[in-house]
A and B are shown apart, each in its own frame.
Chain A
């Protein structure tokens, strides 16, 4: 069965970086895009960026440009999201999700379980 399994919760100090992993299984890793979405406490969903496991440059929403880096390791079917220069407003649950396409077939049919990142001094 399709699974996206994320790494565990993190507590970071302001200014630090965090790297969250998303390990895919149960399907052909190269065939689906992986997205990162975050949700601050009590808030809505916020899209951060996308990567094509087959290759090519990741795309990031402008808000996170320069602070977020999404990478993938095809040997382990894992995608990583690293967010730097953390501030308290980055405290959120971070989700990975997959889509078959980008412009079409862009719905997220499977999601990871979420990773809570807490930024606190």
Chain B
């Protein structure tokens, strides 16, 4: 099965840079998408197709991909960035969408 591995938690001080990784079990060409979810709310898309940002998402949030590793980078972290972040890919070999386990970002 297709597995996406994320660190359970990342902590960062305000104003610093947070990097959240998403490792894929196998190297594939499928694009990675990232979601932010705050307590009690539906997830929102923050990065799609590895590195594109939907309108309304601040430039402080960016995505990149190097081989089997995708990274969500949040620059100049603010208290309001505290949330759970999930990566996602469509696994074309099994025709299924797969989510990573999620990373809780804590702002110290």
Contact = CB atoms under 8 A, between A and B. Distances in A.
Contact of A108 (B35, B89, B95): B35
Which one of B45, B92, B97, B102 has the greatest number of beta carbons of chain A within 10 Å?
B97
Interface string A62-102: 10000000000000000000000000000000010000001
- Chain B interface size range: 20 to 34
- Chain A interface size range: 20 to 34
Contacts of B95: 59
A111 B54 CA distance: 14
A107 B48 contact: yes
A107 B88 contact: yes
Interface of A: 35, 37, 44-47, 50, 59, 61-62, 95, 102-109, 111-114
15 contacts: A35-B97, A44-B99, A44-B102, A45-B37, A45-B86, A45-B102, A47-B99, A62-B96, A95-B43, A102-B90, A107-B48, A108-B35, A108-B45, A109-B45, A114-B42
